[in-house]
């Protein structure tokens, strides 16, 4: 009897806390708080108590984890920012595999190399799909891209389409001279800028221009003239807006607690508007231009960039949203080289592993190695006068970490 009274008091307090939280949330979103909600909620207390009793008394074989609260789960305890430091500290308490409940979502955390091997490799099919969320459904056409689509035929089709023009050793060898050309321009600009030698520079923007030119030359056979190029400014602004909307923690409650999703209407409309403007930008300035060039050249056209490959596949009927022809995978298999190979160290997985690993590893590693080699062989990189070191502290995001503050670095030619 005492146990039931204790739970009744707990559920009553929880209900009051939930109402207070809802009122605060609605006031933040400029939505009036429905007072009648109080009258509707308190009669439901017996049902809430019964549900809580049923859940708490139901034996399970789930991994250990912190105590969960009804409706919110562990969300109020861990917050939105599930960064690696927080998860590592929790693994010291709950073990190499533990469970977090974020609203209606279960999140199993694995922090052991052998268990990671089991999840990502041995049982890769079972764990091959990724959870979708309301914002990325907008940016990916309801999870139809290669990153968020469900593991299966469509994912294999998307991976094959993207592998041929981007992620093979043949592509790396073909574009290496172009990569080095863009990197040499960075070195040239730094050497000819006196300010860089004296007070330093935040090099992020210049490296960003280099990477955009590398990718746009690979994708569209086009490049930007400088950091002040209007198209470069527009392209970076679109990507910045998309990153902020996608990696924001402002919409998590709509994924974790579905009945709060209607309050996201304004946020999701922002995402839809951005996606429309972004696709219009790419189509007007790049895709349509490549179509016109290919049409003008006719049969004499030589495939020179990734979008040419994709447009050519569309013209041949190989890419048709209304038709799936799996036999073409076997036709293309013989000309496709492995994306990555060798033994994997499951203690260090910057690009993931298994079926859903990042195929961009074959581009990222050589580009990263080359640009670092170019900089360290041409410059001595120092902190500006008066500073003892460079601040490399990070800030969290939904899917990746970012440098909190981009530091100024002095580049002295060697």
Q: Name the strand (E) or helix (H) holding 308.
A: helix 306-315
Q: Backbone dihedral region of 71: left (phi > 0), alpha (psi from -120 to 50 degrees) or beta? A: left
**Closest alpha carbon to 375 in 203, 178, 194:** 203
Helix, strand, or coil here: 145? coil
How would you classify the pairing of strands 379-382 and 105-110?
Answer: unpaired
Q: How far is CA 127 from CA 101, 114, 118, 352, in A?
A: 18, 15, 10, 13
268-275 — which CB contacts under 8 Å span 24+ positions? 268/134, 268/135, 268/138, 270/245, 271/135, 271/138, 271/139, 271/245, 272/138, 274/238, 274/241, 274/242, 274/245, 275/138, 275/139, 275/242
165-168 — which CB contacts under 8 Å span 24+ positions? 165/218, 165/305, 165/306, 165/309, 165/310, 166/218, 166/306, 166/359, 166/360, 166/363, 167/339, 167/359, 167/360, 167/362, 167/363, 168/336, 168/337, 168/339, 168/362
CA–CA distance, 157 with 182 (Å, rounded to integer):
32
Helix, strand, or coil here: 224? coil
CA–CA distance, 162 with 359 (Å, rounded to integer):
9
Torsion of CA 41, 45, 48, 53, to 10 degrees: 170
Is 11 marked as binding a ligand? Answer: no
- If you ran DSSP here, which 8-state letter would residue 96 be given? S
Binding residues for heme: 358
Binding residues: 358
């Amino acid at each position: 009897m005492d146990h039931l009274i204790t739970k009744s008091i707990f559920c009553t307090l929880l209900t009051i806390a939930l109402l207070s939280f809802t009122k605060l949330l609605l006031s933040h979103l400029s939505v009036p708080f429905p007072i009648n909600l109080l009258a509707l909620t308190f009669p439901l207390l017996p049902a809430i108590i019964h549900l809580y009793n049923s859940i708490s008394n139901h034996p399970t074989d789930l991994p250990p984890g912190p105590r969960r609260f009804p409706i919110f789960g562990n969300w109020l305890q861990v917050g939105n920012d599930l960064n690696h430091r927080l998860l590592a500290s929790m693994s010291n308490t709950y073990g190499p595999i533990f469970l977090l409940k974020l609203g209606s979502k279960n999140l199993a955390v694995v922090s052991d190399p052998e268990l990671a091997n089991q999840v990502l490799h041995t049982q890769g099919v079972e764990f091959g799909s990724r959870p979708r969320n309301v914002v990325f459904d907008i940016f990916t056409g309801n999870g139809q891209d290669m990153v968020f689509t469900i593991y299966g035929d469509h994912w294999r089709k998307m991976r094959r389409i993207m592998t041929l023009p981007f992620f093979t050793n043949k592509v790396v060898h073909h574009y290496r001279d172009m990569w080095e050309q863009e990197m040499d321009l960075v070195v040239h600009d730094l050497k000819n800028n006196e300010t860089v030698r004296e007070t330093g520079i935040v090099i992020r923007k210049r490296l960003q221009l280099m990477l955009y030119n590398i990718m746009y030359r690979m994708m569209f056979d086009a490049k930007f003239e400088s950091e002040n190029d209007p198209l470069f400014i527009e392209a970076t602004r679109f990507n910045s807006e998309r990153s902020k909307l996608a990696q924001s923690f402002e919409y998590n409650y709509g994924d974790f607690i579905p009945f709060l999703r209607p309050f996201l209407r304004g946020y999701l409309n922002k995402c839809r508007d951005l996606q429309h403007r972004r696709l219009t930008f790419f189509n007007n300035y790049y895709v349509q231009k490549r179509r016109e060039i290919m049409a003008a050249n006719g049969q004499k056209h030589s495939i020179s960039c990734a979008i040419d490959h994709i447009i050519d596949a569309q013209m041949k009927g190989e890419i048709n949203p209304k038709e799936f022809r799996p036999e073409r995978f076997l036709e293309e298999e013989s000309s496709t080289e492995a994306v990555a190979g060798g033994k994997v160290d499951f203690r260090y997985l910057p690009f993931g592993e298994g079926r859903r690993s990042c195929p961009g590893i074959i581009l990222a590693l050589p580009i990263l190695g080359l640009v670092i080699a170019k900089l360290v062989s041409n410059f001595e990189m120092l902190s500006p006068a008066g500073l003892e070191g460079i601040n490399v502290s990070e800030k969290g995001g939904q899917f990746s970490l970012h440098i909190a503050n981009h530091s100024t670095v002095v580049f002295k030619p060697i």
